[in-house]
Amino acid sequence: MSDADLIVKAARKYLGGDPSLLGLQALTGGAASATWQFDLKTEARTTPCILRLQQGSSVDTLALDKTTEARVQTAARSAGLPVANVLFVLRSEDKLGAGYVMERLPGASIAQKILRDHSFAPARRLMTSQCGEILAGIHALNTADLTDLPQLSAAPLLAQYERTYHAIGHNLPAFELALHWLKANIPPAQRSTLVHGDFRNGNFLVDADKGISTVLDWELAHLGDPMEDLGWLCVNSWRFGYSDLAVGGFGQREELFSAYERAGGTTVNPERVQFWELLGVLKWGVICLTMSSAQNPGESPPLERAAIGRRVSETEIDLIQLLKSVLRGNDIGQSTH
């Protein structure tokens, strides 16, 4: 039985009716997920869909299983956050692997297009405040039904990526210096909230006039420091060349922090966000380094992994620039990187 037949069989079981499948197409595969798009057609309507499947990888062992990811996404949508509706979750007997099907919503997700196209200028003016408002909503979400999520504060996250870095066997001075500074400056414990874990430009669907319409990719969600999401959003790699606009290449930190606080988020401590931004750059650098390493001895990494792996040098530059700022006692925002 083909994958398309298996999807139709699962849809019939969970949604009822007698649907047919149109236009099954593989999209880009991430480190922990493979994504497919298709349409489910019934007599009443045609529903655009996305299938997210578990994809084994050694790159990031912190990714949620797909059943848990679907549960987090459903909780976020129930709380009124801009999240796609989960239609059904696969089970082992469906023979497609671990995964779930959700509605496919309109909007652009390619960050370079969002940042460069003139048609998205109205959206760019809205997105910084929207990020603050959405993050405040994520961090306010009731986690009573999500207590089984990983509890990941700064120390265990840093230890995770340090272990991964050392296991690769490369010694990069910028990484070593960043690890030394981060371990010496771990912020004291703060209240724990739901953390998206990968909230950044590229993981949003954006309407050209209305801005952010949907938040994607909840596979790294966990319980932890809410400032982690703010710092990750400001990592230079997610500015896609617009480095003077610290928030995703479309805005500034001050506007983000102000919108976050107005929407009910906790008071922002810029130094704490600074720590998480630096840790975020190191994290992305370690992921890139892992991507550039072959999975099996004597083999070259696949082209997609190698293309990401080449960005290790970019993260080295970012780490040095950020460390120059913190060691001088400056706000990271004064960095010229």
pLDDT range class, residue 6, cuts 50, 70, 90: very high
The predicted pLDDT at position 337 comes to 37
Residue 333 has pLDDT above 70, yes or no: no
Residue 297 has pLDDT above 60, yes or no: no
The predicted pLDDT at position 298 comes to 54
Long-range contacts of 14-23 (CB under 8 A, 24+ apart): 14/87, 14/88, 15/40, 15/87, 15/88, 17/42, 17/43, 17/44, 18/42, 22/46
Amino acid at 208: A
Fold match flag (3-103 vs 111-334): no
Question: What is the token pair recorded at 61?
Answer: 């062992």
Q: Which of 69, 143, 123, 125 is nearest to 100 (CA)?
A: 69
Q: Give tens-digit pLDDT for 152-173.
A: 999 999 999 999 999 998 899 9
The predicted pLDDT at position 290 comes to 86
Whole-prediction pTM: 0.92
Residue 296 has pLDDT above 70, yes or no: no
Q: Give tens-digit pLDDT for 298-317.
A: 555 565 666 677 789 999 99
The predicted pLDDT at position 27 comes to 86
Class of domain 111-334: alpha beta
Residue 121 has pLDDT above 50, yes or no: yes
Question: What is the token pair recorded at 123?
Answer: 């959206």
Q: Which of 42, 40, 52 is nearest to 8 (CA)?
A: 40
- Residue 234 near residue 246, CB atoms below 8 Å: yes
Residue with more model confidence, 117 or 305? 117
Domain borders along the chain are 3-103, 111-334
**Sign of torsion over alpha carbons 143, 148, 149, 153:** positive
Residue with more model confidence, 183 or 58? 183
Amino acid at 99: G
- Residue 307 makes CB contacts below 8 A (sequence gap 6+) with none
The runs of H, that is alpha helices, within 117-172 are: 121-140, 154-168
The runs of H, that is alpha helices, within 186-329 are: 227-233, 253-262, 270-291, 303-309, 312-327
The predicted pLDDT at position 35 comes to 92
Kindly report which listed range (26-40, 66-80, 224-238) carries the lowest average pLDDT score. Answer: 26-40
3-103 falls under which CATH superfamily?
Answer: Phosphorylase Kinase; domain 1 (3.30.200.20)
The predicted pLDDT at position 74 comes to 98
d(CA 194, CA 141): 7
pLDDT range class, residue 59, cuts 50, 70, 90: very low
